Structure 1
Amino acid sequence: MSVDVLFDSPVVRVRQPGKILPTQAKYEILDDKRKRLAFAEETDRRTRVQMLKATLPTAPPPDARILTVTGADDQAILVLTRHPDGRLAEVHRPDGGLVGRMRATGTTRHYSLTDDQGQVVATVVGELSLKHFQVTTPPKNRIARISKTWAGPVKEWLTPSDHYKVEFTGPAPEPARTLIVMMAIVLDLALYGPM
């Protein structure tokens, strides 16, 4: 199944399984009827001791975070890499071809999404709460909204697991659509996710 068909839903949900101290990042990607479209899983697993050390102020900067995105048939469809500086993430196809990049352009509230040629296909700007992000095309047409949603009392209070909703409000051709869905994961890793 190609990526442009895979994420061709007006609403895409990104949910983390609830774990008290996760040793790797994992995300379910669902359509508006909550049918599983894909699953993203970090390739490296950290020990609980490494996770606790990463929360200390004296911890060294984290390494690159690499997540493999598999389709419903468990075949790899994308590779998401968040660079160690935390300001750049890239999405590649399994063959290594670049789909696009997501770069923080100011604070962690402002991002630029570019295609494989470096052309800006969308910008993402968050509200001060860092829970709602508007996605616009270069002429400032709103095409999507990414929101951090309520995950339920048990997940919210006992785990670092979060839920996100991506609502497409306008036409979002490839690669913008794929980058917008992956942006929910990048935002979680940057703002809320496990170290």
Structure 2
Amino acid sequence: MSVDVLFDSPVVRVRQPGKILPTQARYEIFDDKRNHLASATETDRRTRLQILKATLPTAPPAGARILTVTAADEEPILLLTRHPDGRLTEIHQPDGGLVGRILATGTTRHYSLTDDQEQVVAEIVGELSLKHFRVTGPSGARVAHLSKTWAGPKEWLTPADNYKVTFSGPAPEPARTLIVMTTIVLDLALYE
């Protein structure tokens, strides 16, 4: 299935299942009717010791984190690579072609989304709470809203998180895909 069709729902939900000390990141992506659209799974597993060390304030930055995004039929559709510095994430097609980049600008509340030609296709700015993010297109018009929603009591004990993307205006590809993938980038940067 093409990514153009995959994320065409007006509301897209991203859920991270709750596991105590997960050894690899995993996300499930659903449409507004809760139909399973895709999964994103980290390609490498980390040891529990690596996970615990990463929580220390003096921990050095981990290596690149790579997640494979597969459609509901398990066909790979995207490859998300978060660089070791944590500020740059690249989204590629399975054949290696660049879809676009997500770059943290300034702080982890500001993101710039660019296409394969390095043209800005969207800007994302979060509130101080880091739970609500406004998405604007190149013209400055609002095109979507990202929000971190309550995942229930399991959120206290595990890294489980839920995100909701509500599109309010036209967001052509690759902006639409990059906006949805930003929820995973936010989770990896802010909550994991």
Q: TM-score by structure 2 length?
A: 0.98
Question: Per the alignment, in what secondary structure is the counterpart of residue 133 of structure 2?
Answer: strand
Equivalent in the alignment of 1:160: 159
Structure 2 matches for 1:126-137, cutoff 5 A?
Answer: 126-137=126-137
The one-letter code sitting in structure 2 at the alignment partner of 1:56 is L
1:96-145 deviation per Cα after TM superposition (whole angstroms, max 9, x unaligned): 00000000111000110000000000000000100000000122100000
For 2:158 and 2:84, locate their aligned partners in 1 and report how far apart those are by CA, in whole Å. Answer: 24
For 1:171 and 1:2, locate their aligned partners in 2 and report how far apart those are by CA, in whole Å. Answer: 18
The one-letter code sitting in structure 2 at the alignment partner of 1:103 is L
In the alignment, structure 1 residue 186 sits paired with structure 2 residue 185: yes
In the alignment, structure 1 residue 28 sits paired with structure 2 residue 28: yes
Deviation at 1:157, TM superposition (A): 1.4
Aligned residues between the structures: 192
Question: Per the alignment, in what secondary structure is the counterpart of residue 27 of structure 2?
Answer: strand
1:45-92 deviation per Cα after TM superposition (whole angstroms, max 9, x unaligned): 011111112222332211001000000110100000010001100100
Gaps of 5+ in 1: none
Deviation at 1:158, TM superposition (A): 1.1
Question: Per the alignment, in what secondary structure is the counterpart of residue 159 of structure 2?
Answer: coil
1:151-177 deviation per Cα after TM superposition (whole angstroms, max 9, x unaligned): 012x12111110000000001000000
Equivalent in the alignment of 2:86: 86
For 2:59 and 2:113, locate their aligned partners in 1 and report how far apart those are by CA, in whole Å. Answer: 30
Equivalent in the alignment of 1:17: 17
Equivalent in the alignment of 1:51: 51
Q: TM-score by structure 1 length?
A: 0.97
CA RMSD of superposed structures (Å): 0.7
Question: Per the alignment, in what secondary structure is the counterpart of residue 128 of structure 1?
Answer: coil
Identity across the alignment (%): 80
For 2:59 and 2:104, locate their aligned partners in 1 and report how far apart those are by CA, in whole Å. Answer: 23
Equivalent in the alignment of 2:63: 63
Q: Is the 8 A contact 2:18 2:155 kept in 1?
A: no
Question: Per the alignment, in what secondary structure is the counterpart of residue 20 of structure 1?
Answer: coil
Question: Per the alignment, in what secondary structure is the counterpart of residue 185 of structure 2?
Answer: helix
Equivalent in the alignment of 1:99: 99
Question: Per the alignment, in what secondary structure is the counterpart of residue 15 of structure 1?
Answer: strand
- Once the two structures are overlaid, the 10-residue window that deviates more, 7-16 or 59-68, is 59-68
Gaps of 5+ in 2: none
